[in-house]
A and B are shown apart, each in its own frame.
Chain A
Amino acid sequence: MAGKRTAIVTGASQGIGAAVVQAFLDRGYNVVATSRGISKANFAPSPHLALVDGDIGQAATADNVAQTAIGKFGSINHVVNNAGIFAAKSFTDYSIDEFRRFVSTNLEGFIFITQLAVKQMLSQGTGGSVTSITTSFVDHPNAGVPASIPMITKGGLDAVTRSLAIEYAKNNIRFNAVAPGQSRHSSPQEQSEGVSKDPFADGYDLRREGYR
């Protein structure tokens, strides 16, 4: 059984996502890893690993990921919703466009792939799991890292995790979340773009930014 389970990992090119991909491969899972530039990431080729480039906030990317999992490995058993973007600033400094980007990646990026995965799990009848990366700052905010607007999306993930856990409990599809605090590993590209990756989802090191 262990060698035949298939896991989808989003935001998989670096940080936590890449670590999750490696942990699953080490344990004999088949993995479909996706991110905007996953094919340029440094994964060793493996018959158990498929890479799908694309923006997970787009339904077409989620379709491609799900079809790859089913076509190449025959099932979807687990999803890790790791893709997320984040920027810390004062509430009054966020623009509506930034808010919409958070919603696109952090929420629509959850919804599209999770809907497809749940449909597939129901048709398989074998249960499964969906694990999302949120942040401990949802419940325990820190004035040194003001992030009100992205927290709307991360808090939404916490809430939908509980809703879906009950909705699909009888189908043996489990929904959980992992809430990191600050973690190590920076994302230079995102930093240079001025929209840092979620420090909790991707391992952005806030100490470098003077938050601690």
Chain B
Amino acid sequence: MGTISDAKDIAEAVVYLTEARHVTGEVLHVDGGAHVGKW
């Protein structure tokens, strides 16, 4: 956390959303927390 993400980190989120049966309309941030503040 507090570091730049790897492509694999993003891919895991994509796989999660692909398989999450009841999740829709969601924007999932994968940025080590950068969207809530500056690190």
Report A's interface with B, CB cutoff 8 A: 7, 15-16, 18-20, 22-24, 27, 78, 80, 129, 131, 133-134, 136, 139-140, 158, 161-162, 165-166, 169, 174-185, 203, 205, 207
Contact = CB atoms under 8 A, between A and B. Distances in A.
B2 to A, nearest CB: 11
16 contacts: A7-B18, A16-B7, A19-B6, A23-B11, A78-B18, A134-B27, A176-B17, A176-B25, A179-B27, A179-B29, A179-B30, A180-B30, A181-B32, A183-B4, A203-B6, A203-B7
A176 B30 contact: no
Contacts, number: 117
B31 A136 contact: yes
A136 B4 contact: no
Scoring A27, A134, A178, A207 by chain B CB atoms within 10 A of each residue's CB, the highest score goes to: A178
A177 B27 CA distance: 5
Contact of B5 (A7, A162, A166, A180): A180
A110 B4 CA distance: 26
A169 B17 CA distance: 15
A23 B18 CA distance: 11
A118 to B, nearest CB: 13
A184 B35 contact: no
